Amino acid sequence: MRNIDRPELVHRSLDELVRRRLRNWPQRPPGALDTPKQRGVWMRARPGESDVTAHPFLRLPGSNRLRTLPDGLWLHFSHDPADAYCDILCIEACSTLQNLLDKRSRFAPSTTSLLAVCPVAWLTAPLQPDDKLPRWRRIRLVRQEPVEPLVLPVRDVRVLYGLKSRQYDGFARTQMPQAHEYFCPMDALTDEEGASNPAMQALISRASGAANFMRLP
């Protein structure tokens, strides 16, 4: 049976291609700016190394089973242990409009706090295989080696959706995004040099709370 008769296989292979490309993106989102609004540390949480299963995920309070696993997830950790939180930048590859609607619903504004969960194995592992320093030592709000997952409330959510060209063009012509939403053609995510694309860097530089202010003190 050809893949054209099994659209879910096509979608799965596209998602996997995007994740392979995102593994080459840096720990700090390309184009993310240093601002007084974000003075902590950025880390790429997903996708991680393919041979490691313990990666950070998102969930709602009181729900241990229903998890959100974005194709790409970057965490910005606050710098103050007395005010622990994180900001997140998510990247979602959407093969169909139905897939887009489903993923948008997961990040819709809500009165319920979203939580970011960082497993112990992820915190105690290094950023890179040749790095001896574990992640938790780079996160300023963590003062000692963790023995349980680090669970942080999410202060700010920004989501970048990748759409196939035809769907992207139609969406850009007819739809209005919500304040936390950003969109790009899927080709920008499957590009081997996507992190170096000036247009991508410019888009991500705008995906910040600092972009909402005329000036920052």
pLDDT in tens, 170-201: 999 999 999 999 999 999 999 999 999 999 99
Specify if 217 maps to a domain.
no
Residue 153 lies in domain = 3-212
CB 195 within 8 A of CB 26: yes
Q: Is the residue at 156 inside a domain? A: yes
Residue 11: pLDDT above 70? no
pLDDT, averaged across the chain? 89
pLDDT of residue 211: 86
Q: How far is it, in rounded angstroms, from Cα 178 to Cα 198?
A: 23
Decide if 67 is inside a domain: yes
Whole-angstrom Cα distance, residue 188 to residue 195? 9
Residue 130: the pLDDT is 83
Domain total of the chain: 1
CB 78 within 8 A of CB 84: yes
Report if residue 102 sits inside a domain.
Answer: yes
13: phi then psi, degrees, rounded to nearest 5: -70, -35
Average pLDDT over every residue of 13-24: 92
Is position 95 within any domain?
yes
User: Looking at the domain assignment, is residue 103 inside a domain?
Assistant: yes
**pLDDT the model gives residue 205:** 94
Which residue(s) pair with 46 in the sheet?
73
Q: At 61, phi and psi to the nearest 5?
A: -55, 135
